[in-house]
Amino acid sequence: MNTKLADTGLKGPMYILLITLDHFPGSNQDFMAQHIGIDKSGIARAARELEKLGYIRREIDDDNRRQYRMYLTEKGKELLPVIRGHLSEWGRMLTKGLSEHQVLEVIRLMEHMVKNAEQ
């Protein structure tokens, strides 16, 4: 994804933050860290960079003045189809030559592995 999104300025997990904010607008750093499994300092660094690039805006959380709530900007929303397109392309590449049954089995196994990791 770093290579595919290089011209956007995104790197590392930044695209994951944008996708997550599309599903959970107004999320704070704690939620993002817990939801996507990146430490809070990593979320804070990525959020500052995304804000600088114009993809998100951050607002101080009224409930906790030390936290920011994050929202996609129009520029961020416009980038989502590009990100999703690259992710779909990557998924097709990964599953090339597998039957539908095999793909479903891989998904089932990965979901099981995620549950194990959460324990």
Residues 2-56 have pLDDT tens digits of 899 999 999 988 999 999 999 999 999 889 998 888 888 999 999 999 999 999 9
The whole-angstrom separation of Cα 4 and Cα 2 is 6
Digit-coded pLDDT (tens) for 91-116: 999 999 999 999 999 999 999 998 89
Give the β-pairing of 68-72 and 56-60: antiparallel
Q: How confident is the model at residue 119 (pLDDT cuts 50, 70, 90)?
A: confident
Question: How many Cβ atoms from other residues are within 10 Å of residue 108's Cβ?
Answer: 10
Strands (E), the chain: 27-28, 56-60, 68-72
pLDDT at 96: 95
- CA–CA distance, 43 with 17 (Å, rounded to integer): 8
Could you tell me which residues come within 8 angstroms of residue 2 by beta carbon, excluding any fewer than 6 positions away?
10, 11, 12
pTM: 0.84
Q: In the numeric block, which tokens belong to residue 112?
A: 């099981």
Domains of the chain: residue spans and CATH: 6-118 (1.10.10.10)
Q: How many CA atoms lie within 13 A of 54 on its CB side?
A: 5
How far apart (Å, rounded) are the C-alpha atoms in residues 90 and 95?
A: 9
